[in-house]
Homo-oligomer: A and B are copies of this chain.
Amino acid sequence: MTEVSPGCQSALNDLRKGIDAIDQEIVELLSKRQKQVDRVVALKKAHNLQVYHPAREEDLISARRQQARDAGLCPDFIEELYRIIIHRSRIEQNGQMARKGVRPGATVLIVGGGGEMGRYFTDWFKGAGYVVRSMGSRDWEDAAKLCDGIDLAMISVPIDKTPGIIHRIGPYLPSRAVLCDITSIKKKPLAAMLYAHSGPVLGLHPLFGPTTSTLDKQIVVACAGRDDAACQWVIDQLSTWGSIIVAATADEHDQIMEFVQALRHFATFCFGQFLASKNIPLARTLEFSSPIYRLELGMVGRLFAQDPGLYAEIIFATPERRALLKEFIQSLGRNLGMLETGDKAVFEAEFKKVAAWFGPFGEQAIRESSFLIDKLIERF
């Protein structure tokens, strides 16, 4: 690279000043836009209208894509910017709307309210105008008073304590109160709730942790227990906050979670365990990293930055899970043969079988992960 001549440098400076002036105008317009969006929210709030309006969002994006094309800009680039702008505006709208509860003034008891998830839901319910009471392990003397007149009892304690707590709280609950739990297994807690409480019962599994700043598009699995109509407002409240509700039986939920949670976390655990046992030069491998390796290693590192107790709970939740994980380990042993003989043909045949099983998901995964890799490159 050559030295910059003074004339060239001054021309460059002028051009950059021009860009800065344009950027300043853009940010001013974004600020004006936000004020306009605030007015929309105020109007929607006053008339009890929902924030999310998919058709309007797609229209807006189509119009901006067309304008981009006409102006010689890349439409995907403009769409990307507008997805962020719209997403941001939806978060802010949800934040403002969250104060509007489905049943404001109703009383919610969080059993285990001092835990991370307990505090998380306490904040959301309080923000939406509910009266929230919290109950911990030292509050059993006051159980009758804490349960008096409540509309919802949410059990937010570790999995292995959940059935015991449910049995203990049952007798104190008003019969019209909804009883729900939020553990990551559903058969046992649901059976315990139906046994311990004669009123409405709902099994919930929020598929996110307490560090999730928004409920937007976050999934909550809902397993019907008893008196769906009486439970509906709880579901509506979660939807109002932006969650997606997936209905399932407790059986189906638990089976799917064996794979979605237990197996996945266990496989990640084993991988990280092996890297550590080999003491690989982590920092240096990152220098050698394509973005996709960084992303995959990040998934492993992420697990180990979290609470071991939580993962132990998930992995050891039921005997069925432990049996599945043993089966997984044993299935790996079957690959020893091809490694010993170095038989690529066996590997390729097996690979093709699995690829066929994945079907179109593979292509979709490439698209989605390529998109994310671009994001990683942009950002880090």
Smallest beta-carbon distance A14→chain B, Å: 10
Q: Are the C-beta atoms of B73 and A84 separated by less than 8 Å?
A: no
Task: Report Cα–Cα, A219/B376, bound state, in Å.
Answer: 14
Tell me which of A41-49, A114-122, A135-143 binds B.
A41-49
Alpha-carbon distance A48/B5, docked complex (angstroms)? 11
Residue of B nearest to A375 (CB): B375
Interface 9-residue window, one of A147-155, A169-177, A340-348: A340-348
- A379–B178 Cα distance when bound, in Å, is 35
Question: A105: shortest Cβ distance to chain B, in Å?
Answer: 19
Chain B residue numbers with a CB within 8 Å of A68 are 27, 30-31
- Asked whether B1 lies within 8 Å of A48 as measured between CB atoms, the reply is yes
Nearest CB in chain B: distance from A278 CB, A: 7
A23 at the A/B interface (Cβ < 8 Å)? yes
Q: How large is the interface on A (under 10, 10 to 19, 20 to 34, 35 or more residues)?
A: 35 or more
How near does chain B come to A301, taking the closest CB pair, in angstroms?
A: 3
Contact mask for chain A residues 91-119; partner B; CB cutoff 8 A; 1 contact, 0 none: 00000000000000000000000000000
A41-60 interface bits toward B, Cβ cutoff 8 Å, 1 = contact, 0 = none: 00110011110000010001
Given contacts A267-B267, A298-B368, 20 further A-B contacts (CB under 8 A): A24-B67, A27-B68, A28-B71, A207-B293, A211-B370, A217-B291, A252-B284, A256-B288, A269-B354, A273-B335, A273-B354, A279-B357, A292-B299, A294-B368, A297-B365, A305-B355, A305-B362, A311-B351, A312-B344, A316-B344
Which residue of the partner chain, among B11, B60, B269, B357, contacts A276 with CB atoms under 8 Å?
B357
Q: Give the distance to chain B from A350, nearest Cβ to Cβ, in Å.
A: 6
7 pairs of residues in contact across A and B, judged by CB atoms under 8 Å? A26-B33, A28-B71, A31-B72, A207-B288, A259-B278, A298-B364, A332-B332
The oligomer's copy count stands at 2
Q: Which of A261, A267, A291, A351 has its CB near the most chain B CB atoms (within 10 A)?
A: A351
Which stretch from A125-133, A224-232, A322-330 is at the chain B interface?
Answer: A322-330
By a CB distance below 8 angstroms, the chain B residues around A217 are 291, 377
